[in-house]
Amino acid sequence: MSTARIVFSALLLMFASVSTAARDLQIVSSIKPVDLIARAIAPPGTEFTTLVPPGSSPHTYQMKISQRRALNEADLILWMGPDLENFLTRTLQGPDFSQRTLALTPEDSEEETHQAQSSGDAHESHHDDHEAEEHGEHDGHKEHDSHGEHAENGHHDHHDEEGHHHSGVDPHGWLDPALTATMAGAIATAMIDAGANPIIVRANLERFLSDLTGLERELQAYLEPARAIDLFIYHGAFKPFAEHYRLKIAGELTYNPAVRPGARHMAMLQDRLAQSETACLLQEPEFSADWWLAMSQGKALTIGRWDPLAADIPSVPNGYLLFQKAVADAVVSCIPNT
C-alpha cells in the first residue's frame, strides 16, 4: 500500500472516530442570557433556541405549542429554575425531559438530579438591598415588609401571592460573573454528557472563563466611581450584579414583578428618594417608570436604562461579555457629567 493511501486511510479513521464520539447538539435555553453563556462554550454546528422572547418576562411567560416541540427535540434544556421560569416547572419535571434538563439555580433539595454544582459559599454573600439601613432609617434585616418578604442575615425565605416558595438563592444569578463561571462549568459538563466534542467544549470553556475574568477586573475599576450612587431598581434582577461589584441599592420596588408593592413599602421608598442626593433609577424595558416618577414628587431623577434579559445583545459567542459591559454602562450613565 502506498504512503499516500496509508495517510488517506488514517485520516478517514480519524474523522470517523470524531463523528462517532461527538455530534451537533440542539440546545433550548429558557432566557437569552443563558443562551449567551451556552454559545460561548458550545462547539460549531450547535443549534440554539430561546423560549422567552424580547419584551416578555420569564416570571409571567406562557409557552407556545411550537416551543413545546422544540423541547421535545432538544438534546439539552437549560433554565434557571422554578423560582424564575415557573411556566416550565411542570413540563420539565416529566420523565421525557428530566434526563436532559439542567437547572442552573441550586435547589434546597439534594435530590435534584440535574442542577448546577455551584458552591454554597458563592451565595452566602447574598444580602438584602437595605443594608445601609443599619445606620438608622429602618432595620431591613428583620422586618416583614408588605411583600411578605423576610430577610435575616442576608437570606430571603418567603412566599409570593401565588404561593410560590423562594429560597435564599437568587434566581437571577446570570448577572453575577462569579456565579456565571460556575454555571458555565455545569453547562459544559452537560454538553459533553449530551454528546458534544469534549475537547472543543473544554477549550471553549477555558477561553470563556479567562475572558470573563479579564472583563471582571476591567469592570471593577470602571464601576468604582458609581459606588457612591444611590441606585433604585424595579425588582431583584439587578442584585447579583450589584453585590458582585459592591454597588449600593437604595430601594427595590418589588421582589416579584407579579406582586404589587404595598403602601408602607412605597412610603419608605418615597422617603429614601427624597433624602437621596445621588438617586438614579435603573429602568428596565418591560416595566414602566411611572411608579418611581410619582414617588419622586417632581424631584430630578437620573435614569439609567438596562435590560436583564439582554434583548439587544447579539447572539454570538462573546455575547455574554457584551451583556456584562452593557449592564456596567447603564450604571456608569448614572454618574453626574458622564
The overall average pLDDT reported for the chain is 79
Helix 177-194 to helix 32-41 angle, to the nearest 10 degrees? Answer: 60
Beta bridge partners of 252: 233
DSSP H helix total and E strand total for the chain:
10, 12
Question: Three-state SS for 99?
Answer: helix
- DSSP secondary structure letter of residue 252: E
Mean pLDDT to the nearest integer, 110-118:
38
Answer for the pair 54, 12: CB distance below 8 angstroms, yes or no: no
Query: 267 pLDDT band (50/70/90 cuts)?
Result: confident
What local confidence, expressed as pLDDT, does residue 300 receive? 75
Q: Does the structure show a pLDDT above 60 at 146?
A: no
Mind listing the domains of the chain with CATH numbers?
24-114+171-216 (3.40.50.1980)
Q: What pLDDT is attached to residue 2?
A: 54
Determine whether 150 is exposed, middle or buried from the number of CB atoms within 10 Å of its CB (0-12, 13-18, 19+): middle
* pTM confidence score: 0.76
| 240-261 tens-digit pLDDT | 999 999 999 999 987 767 777 8
- pLDDT of 178-213, one tens digit each? 999 999 999 999 999 999 999 999 999 999 999 999
Q: By C-alpha distance, which of 128, 130, 138, 98 is closest to 115?
A: 98
What does the pLDDT read at residue 262? Answer: 85
The yes-or-no verdict on residue 81 having pLDDT over 50 is yes
Pairing status of strand 101-103 against strand 249-254: unpaired
Terminal alpha carbon distance of the chain: 72
